[in-house]
Amino acid sequence: MSASPSPRRCLLAGAALALGLATAQTGAATDRKPQAAIGLAASTTGSVTAKRPRGAELLARLWPSYRDRFIRPDGRVVDNGNGNISHSEGQGYAMVLALAAHDRETFERIWKWTAKELGVRPDGLHAWRWQPDATPNVTDQNNASDGDLLMAWALGEAGLRWDEPAYTAAMRKLTAAIFKHNVTGSRIGPVLLPGANGFRPADQPDGPIVNLSYWIFPAIDRLQAMDTTQDWAALRRSGLALLRESRFGPLGLPSEWVSIGEKRAAFATNFERSFGYNAVRIPLYAAWSPRVASDHLRPYLTMWNAADNIGPFVIDIEDGKARETLDAPGYKMIFALAQCIAQNKAVSPDLVTRQNDLYYPATLGLLSLLAISERKPQCL
């Protein structure tokens, strides 16, 4: 991503426009079969008009370019800012975006490649890293729980939308594996470990170690409706509790990696203490879910000054100083989303449509657009 070091994992390496969450937000499970939350005409007001919403128009414009630049014909999603590798996160993101764009053919290609190339673990999870110039191509067989969570979300929605039982079955198999191998008990209830290996107390002196950007709250909201066999509500509660506990340093920001082994969240000993390329997704997921109070967005509202085009930045948590600028429009879209949800600020059309050259900010930009369209389309 840009000229920065790989934003992805330290230890792992060594939605519709409106995915329609507003039409099917979950609370307690009901006996009624959940409906596909992928209607592009869905809005937070519940009204549907004959005219296609602004968000749907924008996705229709932006999706073909994204697909052509980052998704190979065989369904492999290419991270061109990270050595052209592929990873489970990228495959999951692209499945969500293809679903939002009503592009079933691309969705199927992405899932087929993912299942074949990354579905090499015996436990039902997916290896996280695939490298085109390596033999074997999978260079790290650990899983990344956010990648698997994204895939489960997309598969569940696809099963409903296209009435495809195979996708629903794949979703349920994957969620069962996530809860068996990536969810562990803690003082605040079940928490999501970043991977099956490397983050437990046996692996880290201050374990368990978590990464708050792996709590994909809109996915948890929807999976609670689609798969009632798992305790999604408890997983949401632990994520929200950690968001409150993990306000570190003078700016009150979460660190990329957090230790929860003691009585209160703390910096993880063996990891960098920064708000960076992982943590930048925390406000994206918090703003996307109507079940996350807007108070959780407060630390992020001043991280980007749109009027003067200052920020956002990678931040040193301990002293609050900026390390580098997150220049690409896709990063700024996340903070525009937060300001839209918490402060009703309009989002510049130029920001929405400005091209991102690299996979990661391009993806974050489209996801932020989906979230705005879902939560507060009047900002567009």
Query: How many residues would you count in the chain?
Result: 380
Judging by DSSP bridges, how do beta strands 209-210 and 191-192 pair with one another?
Answer: unpaired
DSSP 21-53: GGGS--SS--SSPPPP---TT--TT----SSPP
Give the CA distances from residue 115 to residues 47, 119, 194, 252, in Å, rounded to whole numbers and listed in that order.
38, 5, 20, 40
Respond yes or no: is residue 206 known to be catalytic: no
> Which of 79, 89, 103, 117 is labelled catalytic?
89
Judging by DSSP bridges, how do beta strands 138-143 and 127-130 pair with one another?
Answer: antiparallel
Name which of 18, 10, 85, 4 is nearest 48 in CA terms.
Answer: 18
User: Using CA atoms in the order 319, 322, 326, 327, what is the torsion angle rounded to 10 degrees?
Assistant: 170
**Are the beta carbons of 335 and 283 closer than 8 angstroms?**
yes
* DSSP bridge partners of 140: 129
Which tokens in the block code for residue 239? 């994520």
**Are the beta carbons of 210 and 194 closer than 8 angstroms?**
yes
Cβ–Cβ contacts within 10 Å for residue 136, how many? 11
**Are the beta carbons of 337 and 289 closer than 8 angstroms?**
no
Helix (H) / strand (E) containing 52: none
> Which of 79, 103, 117, 146 is labelled catalytic?
146
Sign of the C-alpha dihedral, residues 287, 292, 297, 298? positive
Respond yes or no: is residue 146 known to be catalytic: yes
Which three-class secondary structure state does DSSP give residue 239?
helix
Helix (H) / strand (E) containing 125: none
The end-to-end CA distance of the chain, in Å, is 26
- Cis peptide bond prior to 312, omega within 30° of 0: yes
Catalytic residue annotation: 89, 146
